[in-house]
Structure 1
Amino acid sequence: MKIYIMRHGQAGMNAKTDEQRPLTEQGVAESLHMARWLAPQLDNGLGLVIHSNYLRARQTWQGISQVLPTPSRVEESAEITPYGDPALVASYLTALADQHDSILMVSHLPLVGYLVQMLSPAAGAPMFATSGLACIEWQQGKGNLLWLTGPHTIPIETI
């Protein structure tokens, strides 16, 4: 099973609260760029998508959903906000591992870095660019970070 962890696209600062920060045009474009790169790798489709209830994560999912395979299920979660509990989220994802071939989570720093570390301890807690994506192979209760990339490392010509 593969777990894809994505940080939301670049967000503006013009909002009353952190939860209400919208994506910028660059954030929309970079997220779509990453989704177009990811889509051909999703051979078995997309089982479950979980996105944060913050506006920028919801907008990221709404944008990339146009180019990714339609998932079996989509959840919005208040548990995967910037300072969510990585141990709780990792437990939830691993409990779902038997039910799905792939899971995509759209969330925030610092949670995404800590979550990679929880699922694949050898990887440490990596930093994510906005719209960055990590892929973890999950087998028999253990995770292995296969890759971590961002919009500035994927040439446009490859898509």
Structure 2
Amino acid sequence: MASIEDRVAYADRVAGVWATRYRIAPITGRIAGYLYVCEPGPPTIDELATTLQASRTAIVNGVQALESRGLVRRTRAAGERADRIAIVFDEARGFDAAPYREAAVIAEEGLALLASESVEQRALLERTASLNAFLAERLPVLLDEWRRAEARR
């Protein structure tokens, strides 16, 4: 059984990755990391503040940031006075092809502007359009492949 110290250390590692990769406040990453491994769960705002040794305000702000991204949900059982915070798993998160399609279209529009320009001038936009079109095509396929692999487990 993992100790609370081990769980908080894990939350700190998640915070470091999320702060670097997603440019979010470290406390927001700590909250998410802890929610993945907390036991028992889901905790209240006050329980998170105590465990993570952070102010209630910092926890509320972090939870709101995670909520706005659809990464956590609040629940409240009948008779409870405090919300409980739970991490949400959305298997399709990160596999939305729409932003990549949009980026490919925008890059193609830029290429149309540069139709008579040099190859060197067009190269960056060509690669950008190509990569984004590729990702828009492949992400839904990858998600389906993962779903099939999960179904076999």
User: The TM-score by the shorter chain falls in which range?
Assistant: under 0.3
Q: Give the TM-score taking structure 2 as reference length.
A: 0.28
Which of the pair has more CA radius of gyration?
A: 2
Per chain length, whose mean CA-contact separation is higher, i.e. which structure has more relative contact order (CA < 8 Å, sep 6+)? 1
Q: Give the TM-score taking structure 1 as reference length.
A: 0.27
User: Which structure's residues are more often helix, by fraction?
Assistant: 2
